[in-house]
Amino acid sequence: MSESFAVLFFKNAPKKDLGQPRAIYIRITVNGIAKEASIQRKCLPKQWHQQLGRSLGKDELSQTLNTFLTTLETKLEKKRTDLISADKQVTAEMLIDYVKGRDTPKYYLLEEFKKHNDQLAILVEKRKATAGTCKRYSTAFSHTRDYIQWKYAKEDMLLADLDYDFVNDFYFYLMSVRSCCNNTACKYVSNMKKIVLIAVKKKYILSNSFEEFAMHFGDVEYVALNEGELYRIVYHNYQFDRLDRIRDVFLFSCMTGLAFADVEKLSMANIKIDETGSWWIIQDRTKIYNGTRLTIKKLIKLLYYRGMKIVISKRISLLMPPFHWLKRIIARRALEIEVKSKH
């Protein structure tokens, strides 16, 4: 069976602003019938050679783009050969569907997102992931679902239909509709990006729609409590025992350097006294993949005797609120004793 077949990569002629990257499209022609689609890649107009269908740039991004175009062209030729070998008709529409990932079983973004989050929840139960990480991905899932309904009026999106505009508009949605700051918006975009990258590795889709989207995290300045502020919190008398316990756990974290996730799972078995009478915390850290040995100083012993011993013996998780509540309570009560709230 003889048929004409051609593949062309091209860019629309820019009307203005030659300094901005423009989208690259593919045109597949079979027996005189042509179909076009975006390949979710961009190139500067001054670097693009329309006749060659390649970038003339010498930088790494241009070389990566050209490699991608050559690979895609090779895959299309193989797909066409496979169809002919199977004695099936080859059409431009079939090959465009292959480029967009529509000729394979349909995979949806939220469906894959939920699978990922369900697996993450199991790892949290086995203490191989943190509850905070699980919560962030759950929130990112909710934002992604609401965004799809807001922009597309759909319940879900095909992974094959994701493109640069989908990602860019999601960032805009988080910044405008959800009133997120830049760093928070970037974190949620990163969460969704992980799902897309997993789909690429599983070969559910051919290309990564995040390839051209650049995220820039702003610098965050962290200011520590000074010694005077710390001791003011130590010796302040709260009206309720519950606040005393929360304060003690907060100070215990400050003085040991243990994260809240590590303090939360601390038990009496982690407190050891050596032959010299020195006290030690021996524990596997949540976010550090090796064990830790911390000596307990005099002031930390005071906290241990005053409240932590009771909390630890009954497991902190039974008495402690979630970490974001603890931060709010500490910040609010800190103002009462003239200590600045520093998040």
Percent of the chain with pLDDT over 70: 79
Mean pLDDT of 290-306: 53
> With 50 as the cut, is the pLDDT of residue 12 above it?
yes
Q: What confidence tier does 109 reach under pLDDT thresholds 50, 70, 90?
A: very high
Mean pLDDT of 223-250: 75
Choice between 266 and 137, residue whose per-residue pLDDT is larger: 137
Query: Residue 74 — left, alpha, or beta (φ > 0 → left; ψ -120 to 50 → alpha)?
Result: alpha
Query: What pLDDT score does 239 carry?
Result: 76
Q: Rounded to two decimals, what is the model's pTM? A: 0.55
Owner of token pair 């006290």: 279
Q: What confidence tier does 104 reach under pLDDT thresholds 50, 70, 90?
A: low
> With 90 as the cut, is the pLDDT of residue 8 above it?
yes
Choice between 1 and 80, residue whose per-residue pLDDT is larger: 80
- Pairwise CA distance, residues 19 & 146, whole Å: 34
Query: What pLDDT score does 103 carry?
Result: 67
Report the half-sphere exposure of 56 (CA within 13 A, side-chain side).
8
CA 203 to centroid of chain Cα atoms = 20
